[in-house]
């Protein structure tokens, strides 16, 4: 298999179904689909994650737990379900603690295609939330509001 054929196969996938993101390259242009909590989904933080975030903010692990965690092992979320560390100051959302983000965030989408681009049900659940903050920040054209 030639390098160009191999690259084409990686982009198209094993069933030759086209997908925008077979790797994390798409993340650079994403509005943060995976940064919203959906029913049944959880972000689990372990002690290493909490310690990394504590060092990032130069505070204690206990302060991280008190300020940013809901329960024992997940971040608090905004009213629309977005991670509290998601910056939505432009159409391209960004993690404000990217260098210290949890392992689960670092590893997503786990070597697979982004499930938000391949699963219509996930997009249907997330797009209204993203359109909501785009409209609030007047980043979406008036006709879409």
**CA pair distance 70, 95, nearest whole angstrom:** 18
Of 114, 48, 36, nearest to 77 by C-alpha is 36
Q: How many residues does the chain have?
A: 145
- What torsion do the CA atoms of 103, 105, 110, 114 make, to the nearest 10 degrees? 180
State the pLDDT confidence band at 48, using cuts at 50, 70 and 90. very high
Q: Is the pLDDT of residue 83 over 70?
A: yes
Q: Say what the pLDDT of residue 55 is.
A: 97
With bands split at pLDDT 50, 70 and 90, how would you rate the model's confidence at 25? low
| pTM of model > 0.85 | no
Residue 8, pLDDT > 60, answer: no
Name residues whose C-beta falls within 8 Å of residue 137's C-beta, 6 or more positions apart in sequence: 88, 89
Percent of the chain with pLDDT over 90: 27
Q: What is the pLDDT of residue 76?
A: 92
Nearest to 49 by CA among 68, 33, 30, 24: 68
Average pLDDT, the chain: 76
Question: Residue 92: what pLDDT?
Answer: 63
Query: Are 68 and 76 within 8 A, CB to CB?
Result: yes
């Amino acid at each position: 298999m030639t390098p160009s054929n191999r690259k084409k196969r990686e982009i198209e996938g094993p069933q030759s179904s086209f997908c925008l993101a077979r790797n994390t390259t798409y993340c650079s242009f994403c509005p943060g689909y995976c940064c919203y909590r959906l029913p049944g989904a959880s972000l689990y933080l372990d002690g290493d994650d909490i310690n990394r975030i504590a060092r990032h903010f130069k505070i204690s692990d206990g302060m991280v737990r008190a300020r940013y965690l809901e329960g024992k092992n997940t971040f608090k979320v905004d009213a629309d379900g977005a991670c509290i560390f998601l910056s939505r100051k432009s159409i391209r959302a960004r993690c404000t603690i990217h260098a210290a983000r949890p392992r689960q965030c670092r590893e997503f989408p786990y070597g697979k295609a982004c499930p938000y681009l391949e699963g219509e049900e996930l997009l249907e659940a997330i797009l209204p939330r993203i359109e909501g903050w785009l409209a609030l920040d007047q980043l979406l054209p008036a006709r879409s509001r």
